[in-house]
Amino acid sequence: MITSTANQQVKQLIQLNKKRKLRDERGVFVAEGLKMFEEAPRDRIERVYVSESFLGAHRQELDLEGLSWEVMQDSVFRAASDTQTPQGILCIVRRRQYGLEELLQAENPLLLLLENLQDPGNLGTILRTAEGAGAAGVILSRGSVDLYNPKTIRSTMGSIYRVPTLYVDDPVRTAERLRERGIRTFAAHLDGERFYDQEDYTGGTAFFIGNEGAGLTDGLAGRADALIRIPMEGRVESLNAGVAASLLMYEAYRQKRNKTLYI
């Protein structure tokens, strides 16, 4: 049992939670909570840590067979955790690397290209919705928030394991590659001439979503096949990026589902 916060493994966990550079160098992230542990692909789990009290309460149903795991004193686990009220279990998970070609393998894929998104909660919401709406993947510009930030990981509620994601250095070039592959691209933009529900998304589709405050850069918006907007009443100018992305994805999902139903 690990009984001291001076333990090297505890120090490493704390640093992994805090430092993106270290997570990137090791190609891992920390997933905390019972649901995140249970849904993690077992072949990607490097190590599991459980608190003494959690193990005592869940020993019968907790499946740790074949995994490398350690027990921590409750106080030590709290120090290593990124949450104020930890559940008592966390694991280090190896990342899965994807390439753009993998995201394009599906027939008529639904994709998102996120440019300079900064809020971990927004990104987590987008990943969860992407899974629910059947999206083939999420592409992020290099200037976006860290996908493996502990707050983002928690807010995905497990979708981080199942939604293909990748970072790109040049989102404008990526947009061009999508068009070359027959993917029709739509930029969520205040200057959109048509409402989002007036377009056809039954073919290969990619939505461009920009920074929460500044929106899309002119360079990326200018590469879209069409600018679309969400109609607003009252004095509201725009929606939260996560909410906007969710509306667009589910409109595409609705159209694709209805097309399948009536073929």
* Domain map (residue ranges) of the chain: 8-94, 100-262
Q: Does domain 100-262 bear CATH number 3.40.1280.10?
A: yes
Global pTM exceeds 0.85: yes
Q: Residues of the chain with pLDDT > 70: what percent?
A: 98
* Nearest by Cα to 177 from 254, 100, 253: 100
What's the rounded Cα separation, in Å, for the pair 11 and 181? 46
Strand, coil or helix: 130: helix
Q: Is the pLDDT of residue 143 over 80?
A: yes
Are 159 and 127 a contacting pair, CB within 8 Å?
A: yes
- Look at residue 215 in the predicted model and tell me its pLDDT: 86
Q: Is the pLDDT of residue 234 over 60?
A: yes
What's the rounded Cα separation, in Å, for the pair 162 and 221? 28
What's the rounded Cα separation, in Å, for the pair 33 and 207? 32
CATH superfamily of 8-94: Ribosomal protein L30/S12 (3.30.1330.30)
Average pLDDT, the chain: 94
